[in-house]
Amino acid sequence: MQVEKNKVVSLTYTLTLDNGEIADTATKESPFVFIHGIGQTLPHFDSGLNGLKAGDSFEFDIDPENAYGVSREDFKIHIPREVFSGPDVPADVLEVGRMIPMQDEQGRPMNGIILHFDEERVLMDFNHPLSDQRLHFKGDIISLRDATPEELAHGHVHGEGGHHH
């Protein structure tokens, strides 16, 4: 059996950025388990694993364009400071570099990082935290199996490392 569409893949990985920072890991004790080829991961992550077998190692890079994108200036937005005041908001919420969960006009959740603030407004960056980053993935395939029809219908893995419901 090899990694291909509709296989459940269990693997370890380390995600390292160009500056050497480790952004994410999945370990043998707590592996990343997903259905290959159905959009659960970055498409280039799926394709980087194509044809591998249990026990194989992998190492590949994904450019920003194929990962979390190139940052956009128009995703840096000034917001009136009064949005950050009120009975439910801690007085010290404003801190440069802090990530704050917000909503867009349609009520969809989006995270913003505070870049700057003054008495009147707060400049927030809504770009993905990993935008502009080249991703270096390195890891090992632990196991492979066929996804069940139920898992394919749900679009996620059941049981070990997946959903329990």
Interface ranges with Zn ion (CB under 5 A): 154, 163
Residue in the structure block whose two tokens are 């996620």: 156
Residue 65 or 146: the one with the smaller Cβ distance to Zn ion is: 146
Largest CA distance in the chain: 61
Question: Residue 162 CB, nearest distance to Zn ion (Å)?
Answer: 8
Pick between residue 138 and residue 154 the one whose CB is nearest to Zn ion.
Answer: 154
Q: Which is nearer to Zn ion, 141 or 157 (CB)?
A: 157
- Considering the complex, state which of residue 101 and residue 149 has its C-beta at the smaller distance from Zn ion: 149
Nearest approach in angstroms of CB 165 to Zn ion is 6
**Residue 61 is encoded by which pair of tokens?**
């890079």
The structure tokens 């404003």 sit at 94
Task: Kindly give, in sequence order, each residue whose CB lies less than 8 Å from that of residue 79, ignoring residues fewer than 6 positions away.
Answer: 121, 122, 123, 124
Nearest distance, CB of residue 37 and Zn ion, angstroms: 18
Residue nearest to Zn ion (CB): 154
The two tokens of residue 155 are 């679009």
| Least distance to Zn ion, CB of residue 39, Å | 16
Query: What is d(CA 108, CA 114) in angstroms, rounded to the nearest whole number?
Result: 19
